[in-house]
Amino acid sequence: SPADHDVLEPPGGHGPPGGTGEPVLVVEGLGKSFGDHTVLRSVDLRVRRGQVLAIIGPSGSGKTTALRCLNGLERPDAGRVLVGSDVAVDFSRGASRTQLAALRDSSAMVFQHYNLFPHKTVLENVLEGPVVVQRRPREEVTAEALELLGRVGLAEKRDVYPFELSGGQQQRVGIVRALALRPTLLLFDEPTSALDPELVGDVLGLIKELADEGWTMVIVTHELQFAREVAHEVAFIDGGTVVERGHPDQVLRDPREERTRQFVQRLL
């Protein structure tokens, strides 16, 4: 029952500290073009259970597209995506509808612009995925949703509409909505870049809390200081390829590649 477990706890339990568990996400040779514009060229990524991967890089380098490919919001032209032990999609061979659905279910996305349903209340926004898509019992999901909303300080906002909330509150609802899906992977697409500066800290604090809880996460972010604090690994993407990846201190403080050095020098 919902009361028996901590709703902020990831399914399958916590990852070991530092993300040293088994690989939960394996991406190999991911490629994506829009028309004749190649956006991703053979991107490889690997994330272990409980690990936080931060993806950084210049605007237009393909970060968002890569993230969207991970859960089937974009369809890659080439490459393999494996999530957990159940989902394996080889896009080079053509993915079946069932495989794509499984890929979509394995992760939940937190969007830059929150993407809440404007005509649904806060609670209805959180219930939509678990009840309508996952067909879980409404009563059980409601109890869980209210507990999650309580954890982020928004229990009393359950019946209001998104436009009545600040950006920071809307993004906390976005995060709760993702958690309520109990995904294997949490994907964040520049979760704070649309927020007023004074609201950024709140949302970053919540994401850090989730990292400490052992959630497995991929975060596209411009907040390099945050990436350094929260991520176990940083991947620098430029021109649609992973130029460099490694420990945050190494990539952000002592990059091996000149392109990485130029990028981090401008932002840190």
Footprint of ligand ADP on residues 75-114 (CB under 6 A)? none
Distance CA 230, CA 206 (A): 11
Work out how close the CB of 57 gets to ligand ADP at its nearest, in angstroms, rounded to a whole number. 6
**Contacting ligand ADP within 41-70 (CB under 6 A):** 57, 59-65
**Half-sphere exposure at residue 67, Cβ-oriented, CA atoms within 13 angstroms:** 27
Strands 217-220 and 185-189 come out as: parallel
Nearer CB in complex with ligand ADP: 57/168: 57
Q: Give the number of residues written for the chain.
A: 268
Our CB check for ligand ADP shows the closer of 69 and 127 to be 69
Least CB distance to ligand ADP at residue 107 (A):
17
Using CA atoms, how far residue 127 sits from 101, 116, 120, in Å, is 19, 12, 10
User: Of the two residues 7 and 43, which places its CB atom closer to ligand ADP in the complex?
Assistant: 43
- Shortest CB 241 distance to ligand ADP, Å: 12
Rounded Cα distance, 155 and 258, in Å: 48
Does residue 11 touch ligand ADP according to CB under 6 A?
A: no
Q: How far is the CB of 69 from ligand ADP (least distance, A)?
A: 9
Of 112 and 142, CB closest to ligand ADP: 112
In terms of CB distance, is 63 or 177 closer to ligand ADP? Answer: 63
Q: Which residues contact 24 (CB under 8 A, 6 or more apart)?
A: 47, 48, 49, 51, 83, 84, 184, 185, 216
- Residues binding ligand ADP: what is the number (CB under 6 A)? 11
Phi, psi of 168 (to 5 degrees): -65, -40
Q: Which is nearer to ligand ADP, 8 or 81 (CB)?
A: 81
> Residues of 223-252 as b/e, b for ≥16 C-beta within 10 angstroms?
bbebbbebbbbbbbbbebebbbbbebeebb
Residues lying near ligand ADP in the complex (CB under 6 A) are found at 34, 37, 39, 57, 59-65
